[in-house]
């Protein structure tokens, strides 16, 4: 009987431990689910690039409206999201600080940003660093020129790859067939109506621009705005980013060679400092 009692107590103890473990796992799953939902909300706002209401967010991420309300309130309280006066939701300042901290930890961004500011001073024009985000070009960093010329694309702006000089360079290292399929999928008509949308033509121009280490676009995405870009290529031969001068279109035609030499030299300098260019 004593043995049975000890056995029974041990069994109960094991059952209790098992129950606690199951509950702990359930709690972990619940926390992960909550984190996933929060990331879905943040990703949706990031991908659309505009504030949105709770109902639109809930519909887009396929979550119960009540759940989204709770997540939004929690993230707003933590400054991860911000609530506009009209009630719409946008990304909060805390995310910006995280982004800055992450950018500072990257050797490439440190090197490239320093060169971006040097080029801005030399050229006397606005300079941007751009990267690829799927089917879009993303403005990673920007140095405003001294003039009053305003550039619509600020840091964080995402535009279709076919609209910009940088967009074409960012995929110029890809095989021709892959470039064609990509442009078939992502090419869009630009606000000015001047951006090329034919996939074959875009692929050819992307390949040529990458080989020549130079891409120029004039008023394709914004009226009266031109861009002169050069690729930053890693040791595997892939375009990881571009550096570009953004300026009024009339200046491109008046002194194109001056700007093209400067932007090419800046791209090469970044590659050398990163150890990607040995000549």
Which pLDDT score is estimated for 91?
Answer: 94
Which pLDDT score is estimated for 194?
Answer: 84
Cα separation, 64 vs 34, in Å, equals: 13
- pTM value is 0.66
Angle (CA) 37-42-47 rounded to 5° is 120
pLDDT by residue, tens only, the chain of 279 residues: 444 444 444 444 444 444 455 444 444 444 447 889 999 999 999 888 899 999 999 999 999 999 999 999 999 999 999 999 999 999 999 998 888 777 766 688 889 999 999 999 999 999 999 999 999 999 999 998 887 666 767 888 889 999 899 999 999 999 999 999 999 999 998 888 888 899 999 999 999 999 999 999 887 767 778 899 999 999 899 999 999 999 887 777 666 678 999 999 999 999 998 888 764
Residue 124: half-sphere exposure toward Cβ, Cα within 13 Å? 5
Which pLDDT score is estimated for 226?
Answer: 86
Q: Which domains, ranges and CATH numbers included, belong to the chain?
A: 2-92 (1.10.10.10), 106-273 (3.30.450.40)
Going by C-alpha positions, the residue among 89, 25, 98 that lies closest to residue 61 is 89
Which pLDDT score is estimated for 120?
Answer: 94
Q: Are the CB atoms for 19 and 11 separated by under 8 Å?
A: no
pLDDT tens readout for residues 153-211: 788 888 999 989 999 999 999 999 999 999 999 999 888 888 889 999 999 999 999 99
Dihedrals φ, ψ of 238, to 5°?
A: -100, 140
Which pLDDT score is estimated for 104?
Answer: 66
């Amino acid at each position: 009987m004593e043995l049975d009692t000890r056995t029974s107590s041990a069994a109960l103890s094991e059952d209790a431990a098992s129950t606690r473990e199951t509950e702990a796992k359930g709690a972990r799953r619940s926390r992960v689910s909550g984190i996933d939902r929060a990331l879905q909300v943040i990703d949706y706002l990031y991908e659309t690039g505009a504030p949105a209401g709770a109902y639109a967010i809930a519909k887009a991420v396929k979550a119960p409206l009540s759940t989204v309300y709770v997540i939004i309130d929690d993230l707003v309280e933590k400054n991860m999201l911000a609530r506009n006066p009209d009630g719409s939701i946008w990304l909060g300042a805390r995310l910006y600080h995280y982004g800055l901290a992450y950018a500072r930890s990257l050797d490439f961004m440190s090197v490239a940003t320093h060169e971006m500011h040097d080029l801005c001073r030399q050229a006397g024009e606005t300079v941007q660093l751009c990267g690829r985000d799927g089917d879009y070009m993303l403005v990673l960093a920007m140095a405003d020129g001294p003039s009053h010329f305003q550039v619509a694309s600020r840091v964080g702006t995402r535009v279709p790859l076919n609209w910009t000089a940088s967009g074409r360079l960012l995929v110029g290292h890809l095989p021709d067939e892959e470039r064609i399929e990509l442009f078939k999928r992502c090419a869009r008509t630009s606000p000015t109506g001047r951006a090329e949308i034919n996939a074959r033509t875009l692929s050819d121009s992307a390949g040529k621009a990458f080989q020549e280490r130079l891409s120029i676009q004039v008023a394709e995405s914004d009226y009266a705005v031109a861009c002169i870009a050069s690729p930053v290529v890693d040791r595997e031969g892939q375009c990881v980013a571009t550096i570009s001068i953004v300026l009024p279109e009339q200046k491109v035609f008046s002194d194109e060679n001056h700007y093209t030499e400067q932007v090419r030299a800046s791209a090469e300098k970044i590659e050398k400092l990163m150890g990607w260019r040995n000549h």
